[in-house]
Structure formats: C-alpha cells, structure tokens
C-alpha cells in the first residue's frame, strides 16, 4: 500500500513540493469548516463522501483530519508553498486546544444524532457537512442522502412530534396481537388463590404464594410491546411543559427515522411509528 510522504495538499514536481490543486482545495475547506465549528466527526463523514483519499486504499478517519488541522507547514516555509493564511490556522488551533461554546452540540441535537436511522433501510445514518457548508445526512448501507434534513429542521420536527404525544397520549396504541399472544391459562393461577381465600381456615402463606404467582402470570401475559406501551404512557402522564425533550426521547424513543425529503418519524420503544398527520 502506498504511503504518504508529503503533507496532504502537496505533490512533488522536479524535486520540489508544489500545491496539488484538488487536495489543496480540500485542505482549505477543512480549515474553513473547522474554524466555523465543524467537528472532526462531521469533517470525516463529509470527506468519505468525496473521491480524493488521504492515503490510497484507506478511508478517511479522524486521525487524518486532526493531523492536517495541526500542521503548520500549510502556512508555508522555505520548503512548502503556503496553502492557508495564518489567521485561519490560528482560528483552527484555538478550536483544537479550546472547545468553544459555538461548537458544542445541544443535548437534543446529540440525542437526535444518537437515534437517527435511515427510513429506507433501517441502517444508521450519519451527519456530515457538504464542502460548501450545507448539512446532509447519509446512509452507508443504501446510499440514501438527505440534504433537506437540516439541524434546525430535525430539532423542530422532533420537538413537534414529542409535543403531539404529550398533548395526545392516545396516539400511543396497544398492540392487539401482543395481547393475544399471552398466556391462556391465567385461570390456573386464579383458581388456587380463590380456593385459598375461600377456605374455612385461611392459610396466609399459601394465599400469599398464590397471589404472587397470579401477579407474575398477569405481568407475563401483558407481552413485551404492550408492557412498553404501558411504560410510555406512564412517562407521558408524568411529563409537563418543563420536561426536557431530550429526556423524553431517551425514555420513550428507540429510533428517529430520517426520510430523504427531510421529514422525521419517531419509532417508540414499543415498535410504533409516530408521524405528523
């Protein structure tokens, strides 16, 4: 595998390093984007969408990005011609050593990125910034790309859907099939308890044992999905206007589906999909 001997952005011509135009444009874009708040993760994701490799045969990774952004040779010296201005490099170096408030994601944005999946194939989707700064989400599995799902739109759509559930919990529905799949032998647990309670001489330890057995059978009879439905409804009943949306996302949502047109759906932890009407 060919190893890189020159800093990315340069090529050797007649024994001297000169600007490699396509690579140099990527270098300048990386410095501009990072100075404006783009993270290593988003830069790496965007670089994987374009065709110029850092090293032939290898995918871009955060170490490659960090190496470029920390390289002062791009200012130019007796060997290398300049690719960027000193003010741009200093802005980036400040971001590298001090995490600025502008670059810190909100908790809601972080929750959205953690839960985001592709509505087409169900695989994980990743946020990236286009070279011109436009946000995009892409799926490595089916290659779905959405340029309409901006951060602002995703947060607004997510908050809207959560607010709909808070104001109308009846949107959360029980699964009849889950109920039908329960035990049909509850009467086998009910009869011993009834007999114990109706006996001439109450055997309290036996009655307690029968009651616990019946309670366990009833819980198991609920089914996994309907148990989650009951839990979600309980969480929503306790929610108020002061409840943080990212906390509700964590408690009741298993995935956030991003559609190619930028629309959003919520997959609740009971498997139900919630969309805007």
Q: What DSSP character marks residue 155?
A: H
Q: pLDDT tens track of the chain, all 277 residues?
A: 445 678 999 999 999 999 999 999 999 999 988 888 888 888 999 999 899 999 888 899 999 998 899 888 999 999 999 999 888 887 777 665 444 444 445 778 888 888 999 988 988 888 876 545 567 788 878 888 777 778 888 888 888 888 888 888 888 887 655 444 444 565 676 777 777 777 777 777 887 777 777 666 665 655 566 788 888 999 888 887 667 777 888 899 999 999 888 889 999 998 899 987 6
**Which residue ranges form the domains of the chain, and what is each CATH number?**
1-104 (3.90.1750.20), 108-181+223-277 (no CATH), 186-221 (no CATH)
Number of neighbours of residue 166 by Cβ within 10 angstroms: 17
Distance CA 257, CA 116 (A): 6
Task: Give buried/exposed letters for 108-135 (b at 16+ CB in 10 A, else e).
Answer: bbebbbebbbbbbeeeebbbbbebeeeb
Q: Find out whether 76 and 83 touch, Cβ atoms under 8 Å.
A: yes
- Look up the pTM and report it: 0.50
């Amino acid at each position: 595998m060919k190893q890189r001997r020159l800093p990315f952005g340069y090529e050797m011509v007649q024994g001297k390093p000169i600007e490699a135009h396509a690579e140099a444009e990527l270098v300048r874009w990386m410095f501009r984007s990072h100075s404006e708040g783009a993270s290593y993760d988003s830069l790496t994701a965007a670089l994987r969408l374009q065709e110029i490799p850092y090293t032939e045969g290898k995918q871009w990774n955060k170490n490659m990005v960090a190496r470029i952004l920390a390289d002062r040779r791009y200012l130019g010296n007796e060997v290398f011609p300049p690719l960027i201005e000193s003010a741009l490099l200093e802005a980036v170096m400040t971001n590298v050593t001090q995490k600025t408030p502008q670059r810190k994601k909100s908790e809601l944005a972080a929750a959205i990125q953690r839960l985001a999946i592709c509505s087409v194939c169900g695989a994980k989707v990743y946020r990236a910034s286009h070279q011109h700064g436009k946000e995009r989400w892409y799926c490595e599995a089916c290659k779905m790309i959405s340029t309409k799902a901006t951060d602002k739109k995703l947060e607004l759509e997510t908050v809207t859907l959560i607010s709909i559930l808070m104001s109308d919990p009846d949107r959360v529905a029980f699964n009849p099939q889950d109920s039908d799949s329960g035990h049909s032998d509850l009467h086998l647990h009910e009869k011993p308890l009834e007999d114990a309670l109706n006996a001439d001489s109450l055997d309290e330890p036996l009655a307690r044992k029968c009651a616990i057995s019946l309670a366990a059978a009833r819980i198991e009879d609920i089914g996994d999905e309907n148990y989650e439905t009951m839990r979600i409804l309980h969480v929503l009943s306790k929610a108020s206007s002061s409840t943080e949306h990212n906390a509700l996302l964590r408690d009741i949502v298993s995935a956030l589906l991003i559609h190619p047109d930028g629309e959003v759906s919520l997959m609740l932890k009971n498997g139900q999909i919630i969309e805007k009407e």
